[in-house]
């Protein structure tokens, strides 16, 4: 029986990042006294009530998140800022341990931000790299209640990366409407006033440029405008003011430096645009993030000259 218990325990520890709950240990075949002996010997280290870490496993951020979710109880999940950090947003690093549990009752864990979410259901949770994490749409709603300044950037990047869709966002807003959840209003306002409307950017930088132009009062350009010559498409522009023949292109370092073919194609493409009378403005992510006002001013001046 001990051999079976050990095998089951090793399987559990590997699956749970070196963690095991008391109920898992009992289910594996260890008695209460055996659990106590392992804790007393230092082989198992108590992380939270009823949750232990095997001493051979190093402490990681992901492990701390899972430990908190396990301790918070059945149906709990990594949420809010921690969920954003787990799924990833460029330039944002989360170190807060934050979970939600489907209960209206107060519950505290040392070093953990615990949210009481009585409407948290199984369909609001997915496994991400082995962690139970709130879905992207639910995360965006929850994020609006604790860090509204991050919601727009997170939404646009996840839309561009196809992590979530506008249809799913609209459905989530409908599902949570009228429940008094503060984040619903934040996300709805951002979706309703998007600079891109119903269009989806190909990158976070594309979405950022649209927001910059809108914020500085410039007319909305056409997104992904096709330029044709003799019934042949010679370019699909990131943004364009077709009447003024102004093209706005975003340059990323990776594709242009990795491929000589891409580098050469871009030059041929730009020459073709110039021959068609287009004025091309090019921007990098660095300029968009560091000098948004300068970018908007250059676009305004170009519009005034044409």
209-235 pLDDT, tens digit per residue, is 999 999 999 999 999 999 998 888 998
If asked whether residues 225 and 286 sit together in one domain, one would say yes
pLDDT of residue 20: 94
Give the whole-angstrom CA distance, residue 233 versus residue 245.
15
pLDDT of residue 230: 84
If asked whether residues 22 and 82 sit together in one domain, one would say no
Domain for residue 105, yes or no? yes
Give the whole-angstrom CA distance, residue 16 versus residue 14.
6
If asked whether residues 154 and 240 sit together in one domain, one would say no
43-80 pLDDT, tens digit per residue, is 999 999 999 999 999 999 999 999 999 999 999 999 99
Give the whole-angstrom CA distance, residue 218 versus residue 213.
5
Beta strand 232-241 with 222-229 is antiparallel
Domain for residue 80, yes or no? yes
Domain for residue 171, yes or no? yes
Q: Could you say which DSSP state residue 120 is in?
A: -
If asked whether residues 81 and 175 sit together in one domain, one would say yes
Domain for residue 64, yes or no? no
If asked whether residues 165 and 226 sit together in one domain, one would say no
Give the whole-angstrom CA distance, residue 128 versus residue 135.
9
pLDDT of residue 10: 61
Domain for residue 67, yes or no? no
Domain for residue 197, yes or no? no
If asked whether residues 83 and 188 sit together in one domain, one would say yes
Q: Indicate the helix (H) or strand (E) that contains 222.
A: strand 222-229
If asked whether residues 184 and 224 sit together in one domain, one would say no
For 74, left (φ over 0), alpha (ψ -120 to 50), or beta? beta
Find the domain containing 26 and state its range. 2-59
Regions of the chain where pLDDT drops below 50? 1, 255-256
Phi, psi torsion values for 240, nearest 5 degrees? -155, 150
If asked whether residues 44 and 96 sit together in one domain, one would say no
pLDDT of residue 41: 96
Phi, psi torsion values for 119, nearest 5 degrees? -95, 10
Q: What is the dihedral of CA 294, 295, 300, 303, to 10 degrees?
A: 140
Q: How many domains does the chain have?
A: 3
pLDDT of residue 7: 63
Give the whole-angstrom CA distance, residue 80 versus residue 133.
9
Q: Could you say which DSSP state residue 255 is in?
A: H
3-state secondary structure of 137: helix
Give the whole-angstrom CA distance, residue 255 versus residue 187.
33
End-of-domain residue from the set 192, 224, 259: 192
Q: How far is CA 265 from CA 12, 82, 86, 239, 240, in A?
A: 53, 41, 37, 19, 20
Domain for residue 272, yes or no? yes
Is residue 20 within 8 Å of 12, Cβ to Cβ? yes
């Amino acid at each position: 029986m001990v051999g079976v218990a050990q095998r089951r325990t090793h399987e559990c520890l590997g699956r749970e990042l070196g963690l095991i709950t008391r109920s898992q240990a009992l289910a594996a075949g260890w008695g209460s006294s055996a659990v106590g002996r392992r804790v007393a010997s230092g082989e198992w280290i108590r992380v939270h009530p009823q949750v232990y870490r095997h001493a051979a496993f190093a402490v990681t951020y992901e492990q701390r998140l899972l430990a908190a979710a396990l301790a918070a109880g059945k149906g709990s999940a990594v949420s809010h800022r921690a969920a954003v950090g787990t799924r990833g947003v460029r330039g944002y690093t989360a170190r807060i341990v934050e979970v939600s549990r489907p209960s209206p009752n107060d519950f505290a864990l040392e070093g953990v931000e615990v949210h009481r979410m009585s409407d948290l259901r199984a369909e609001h949770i997915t496994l991400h790299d082995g962690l139970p994490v709130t879905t992207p749409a639910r995360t965006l709603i929850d994020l609006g209640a604790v860090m509204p300044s991050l919601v727009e950037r997170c939404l646009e990047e996840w839309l561009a990366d196809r992590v979530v869709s506008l249809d799913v966002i609209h459905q989530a807003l409908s599902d949570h409407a009228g429940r008094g959840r503060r984040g619903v209003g934040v996300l709805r306002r951002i979706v309703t006033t998007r600079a891109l409307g119903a269009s989806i950017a190909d990158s976070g930088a594309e979405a950022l440029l649209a927001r910059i132009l809108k914020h500085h009062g410039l007319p909305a350009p056409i997104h992904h405008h096709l330029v044709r010559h003799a019934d042949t498409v010679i370019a699909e522009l990131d943004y364009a003011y077709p009447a003024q023949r102004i093209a706005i292109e975003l340059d990323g370092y990776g594709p242009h430096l990795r491929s000589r073919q891409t580098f050469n194609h871009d030059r041929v493409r730009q020459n073709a645009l110039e021959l068609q009378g287009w004025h091309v403005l090019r921007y990098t992510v660095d300029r968009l993030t560091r000098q948004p006002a300068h970018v908007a001013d250059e676009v305004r001046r170009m519009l005034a000259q044409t």
